[in-house]
Amino acid sequence: MRMRTSAGVVVAGALAVSALAVPAAQAGGRSGDTAITKVTVNGGAAVVVGTSAAKKFSVTLTAKDDSGIDGADVTLFGPSFGMLSPTSTSCSGNTCTARFVVDPKVDLAYSNEVAGTWYVDAWVDANDGDYVWTEKVKSFKLQRASKITANASPEPVKKGKTITVTGKLTRADWGTFTYKGYSKQSVQLQFKKKGAKSYSTVKTVKTSSTGALKTTVKASADGTWRYSFAGTSTTPAVSAAGDYLDVK
């Protein structure tokens, strides 16, 4: 992985030296009555990054001190020495917002291993000189974007006949900047009968070594078939758009 110092963003794949250069990250502490009361990353959602577009997100931190909040320093740490510093940080009242940008082709190149659970380390300064430093004050997920497809055939089909539902589960590969098959994952085959409001799970199917999906079922009624993936720590949940099948 590479370092983008001009924007203040660092994602260090094997930069153990970078971690050692930040001694404050090794411990927490406080002085006076300063306290961090709330931290929100990306509005509470996982940070999902694809293969081309830069992902912008923010960390909002709320703190308290009798004298008011002067400023904050927020750093994000993840697996394999992953690290992100904000492009900018601003405070208004007791709330500080740190803004981040992750460009997969600059910050995540050849670094699939940094996907997973990340943590927020935060330092807050009060107007009277008090401060608080909290390590791992919040956790969140940095994930590789996912896609899934579904196709039911033949169509139309006679009632009671066998249909085949194929598809593929893929996710962003930050080494090649393409979507590659996600192997050996459990995926649910779901059906929504014509006129119904929701899908029902019919069976669970495993992806192949290339992420391919294939199974057979009996056609019973008009409706829509889809595959749905629950997600993992490194990859978000995703459902196919669905394929409508006319049963004669």
Give pLDDT tens digits for 70-87: 999 999 999 999 999 999
Q: Average pLDDT in the 174-183 region?
A: 98
Q: Which tokens is 63 given?
A: 């703190």
Give pLDDT tens digits for 150-177: 999 999 999 999 999 999 999 999 999 9
Cα–Cα distance for residue pair 40/126, rounded to 1 Å: 20
Cα–Cα distance for residue pair 21/6, rounded to 1 Å: 18
pLDDT computed for residue 5 by the predictor: 32
Q: Which tokens is 66 given?
A: 């009798």
Mean pLDDT of the chain: 90
Strand partners, 74: 122
pLDDT of 13 strictly over 70: no
pLDDT computed for residue 20 by the predictor: 30
Q: Do residues 80 and 113 make contact, with C-beta atoms less than 8 angstroms apart?
A: yes
- Domains detected in the chain: 3-144 (2.60.40.1930), 146-245 (2.60.40.730)
Confidence of residue 246 (pLDDT cuts 50, 70, 90): very high
pLDDT computed for residue 27 by the predictor: 55
Q: Which of the two residues, 177 and 6, has the higher pLDDT score? A: 177
Half-sphere exposure for 149 (CA within 13 Å, toward CB): 9
Confidence of residue 17 (pLDDT cuts 50, 70, 90): very low
Burial of 54 (0-12, 13-18, 19+ CB in 10 A): middle
Whose CA is closest to 117, among 143, 86, 154, 93? 143
Q: Which tokens is 45 given?
A: 């959602």
pLDDT computed for residue 28 by the predictor: 76
Give pLDDT tens digits for 215-231: 999 999 999 999 999 99
Tell me the DSSP string of 30-65: EETT-EEEEEEEGGGS-EEE-SSSPEEEEEEEEEE-
Collapse the DSSP code of 157 into the 3-class scheme (helix H, G, I; strand E, B; otherwise coil) and give the result.
strand
pLDDT computed for residue 6 by the predictor: 29
Give pLDDT tens digits for 19-46: 333 334 345 798 999 999 999 999 999 9
Cα–Cα distance for residue pair 167/178, rounded to 1 Å: 18
Q: Which tokens is 36 given?
A: 């961090």
> b/e string for 136-170 if b means 16 or more Cβ within 10 A?
ebbebbbbbbbbbebbbeeeebeeeeebebebbbb
Cα–Cα distance for residue pair 178/239, rounded to 1 Å: 19
pLDDT computed for residue 14 by the predictor: 29
